Amino acid sequence: MAEDQGLAVARPVAPRDRRGAVTVFFATRPKTRLVLLLGAPMLWLVVMYLGSIAVMLLSAFWSVDGFTGKVVQSYSLANFAELFSNPLYGTVALRTLLIAVGVTVIDAVIALPLALYMAKVASPRARIILVVAVTTPLWASYLVKAYAWRVLLAPHGPIDWVSGGNSPGYGLAATVITLAYLWLPYMIIPVFAGFDRVSDSLFEASFDLGAGAWRTLRSVALPLVFPAIAAGSIFTFSLTLGDYIAVGIVGGKTQMIANVIYGQLVTANNQPLAAALSLIPLAAIVLYLLAMRRTGALENV
């Protein structure tokens, strides 16, 4: 009997028993599971994303040798003094913020009725067609869409011909129109999802209590859909802040902050000043996210 017990102890553990032990180990240690699940993505986020931002912040304090053009890693506040002393940067930054806000408002105004129709009015077949129509431009090349608007807005182009010579041409208006078109799907999709989550019984109850369509939309639907609008506005606002290609294609002499950053980085070969300028859109989007968070709009997104 003792020999049998000794043989039983010496017998190797079966693979099935090992798997069971591993399962029990992770089942009783949820924190270990969480670390293994999110460890690699968080490491990538910290090292590659936050690390690159940290390097950018650090390089904003560097300078450029005026003779050799090389970056000198000596710390100073000269780049930030340049930002505040040169009125050009303030003007361009303000213009960029206004364009971003304008594009966001235009996309929201267009997305609200379209998303409401898609979610609550259209038939299932028409809804599918509209969803495909909204998402199809996302598959097209960015440059193709931007150059298509360049053709449309060109002097003696299609818009000029249809409007009888009232085309906005290239400039600030063309920039806002093009950017609003480019980022419109990013507003429609979350707003459509927000309306789709609103129960039809809420609309019926509002109508039964005597509220009209506008009152129902304003007092019932919009408060519930506002988190979705906030989510879409984050996309349109941040994407507009960082855009410089569309401005170069249809903007004419109009400049945004990303164009100035690109010019300092590529043309002027002034990486430290470009890094300091990059803090403007970074600060703007952080403040915008904090503002959205204070409203509570992001808690249920």
DSSP letter for each residue of 115-182: HHIIIIIS-HHHHHHHHHHHHGGGGS-HHHHHHHHHHHHSTTSHHHHHTTS----SSHHHHHHHHHHH
Mean pLDDT of the chain: 86
Rounded to whole angstroms, the Cα distance separating 256 from 88 reads 11
8 A C-beta contact, residue 199 and residue 256:
no
pLDDT digits 0-9 by tens, 114-124:
999 999 999 99
Mean pLDDT of 74-101: 93
- pLDDT tier at 238, thresholds 50, 70, 90: very high
Lowest mean pLDDT among 7-16, 64-73, 82-91, 103-112: 7-16
Rounded to whole angstroms, the Cα distance separating 155 from 159 reads 9
pLDDT digits 0-9 by tens, 179-194:
999 999 999 999 999 9
